[in-house]
Chains A and B, each alone.
Chain A
Amino acid sequence: GAVVSQHPSWVICKSGTSVKIECRSLDFQATTMFWYRQFPKQSLMLMATSNEGSKATYEQGVEKDKFLINHASLTLSTLTVTSAHPEDSSFYICSASILAGDSYEQYFGPGTRLTVT
């Protein structure tokens, strides 16, 4: 159980285009999903918390108009990188949390490697 999928696994696009990344919980319902970004040799940085049926909560320094998040159902959250630029090239990973005992465990999708040329 606790499988999270992401699509696409990698994408190359030209500067100025928009890219949509999908995150799905395959065998459970997730009211909350998270979007992270990871640059080479750095740790995961939380970008935003995606809540089903409501607006996403963005971390400080993350532009909500650039990184659009939609959590339309209990099994799907999408991240759209609008007007992508080379500095947006990164590894984008989503996760979904499950209550396990007294704490929430997070399970990650396989990630999407975005390269903007």
Chain B
Amino acid sequence: RKEVEQDPGPFNVPEGATVAFNCTYSNSASQSFFWYRQDCRKEPKLLMSVYSSGNEDGRFTAQLNRASQYISLLIRDSKLSDSATYLCVVNRYGNKLVFGAGTILRVKS
């Protein structure tokens, strides 16, 4: 079983749609959780950290369920510029990170 599992997609959605991505992780001792965004042939960029109480940043909302070892990302009012690969990231221990394989989002006009 992979340490971090994501649905690879692709998710093809129209502009303005709401889309949700899910991720599960296997290491119950993980303490830090993140969503990164990676554009084609570019480096990952931190989108948001994920906190136990859930957190929101503009059109993006992240949720964490420790009991189910499950993380989600909700994107509202999708823009063309949101098209990218979204990486679910969990710390293995300390500040070492484990990356999911990513979920591809394509927003179309």
Contacting B at CB under 8 A, from A1-51, are 32, 34, 42-46, 49
Q: Is B95 an interface residue (CB 8 A)?
A: yes
Chain A neighbourhood of B61, CB < 8 A: none
The 8 A CB mask of A90-117 against B (1 = contact, 0 = none) is 0101000100101111111111010000
Report the separation of the CA atoms of residues A103 and B97 in the bound assembly, to the nearest whole angstrom: 11
A51 → chain B, closest Cβ, in Å? 11
Chain A neighbourhood of B100, CB < 8 A: 43
Chain B neighbourhood of A106, CB < 8 A: 46, 95, 97
Number of A-B contacts (CB under 8 A): 48
Chain B neighbourhood of A32, CB < 8 A: 95
Tally of contact residues, A, Cβ under 8 A: 23
Contact B43 A100 (CB under 8 A): no
B60 → chain A, closest Cβ, in Å? 16
Q: Is B14 an interface residue (CB 8 A)?
A: no
The 8 A CB mask of B2-43 against A (1 = contact, 0 = none) is 000000000000000000000000000001101000000111
Show the binding face of A for B, using Cβ within 8 Å: 32, 34, 42-46, 49, 91, 93, 97, 100, 102-111, 113
10 A–B contacts, CB within 8 A, in A order: A32-B95, A43-B99, A44-B87, A45-B99, A49-B96, A91-B41, A102-B32, A105-B49, A108-B43, A109-B43
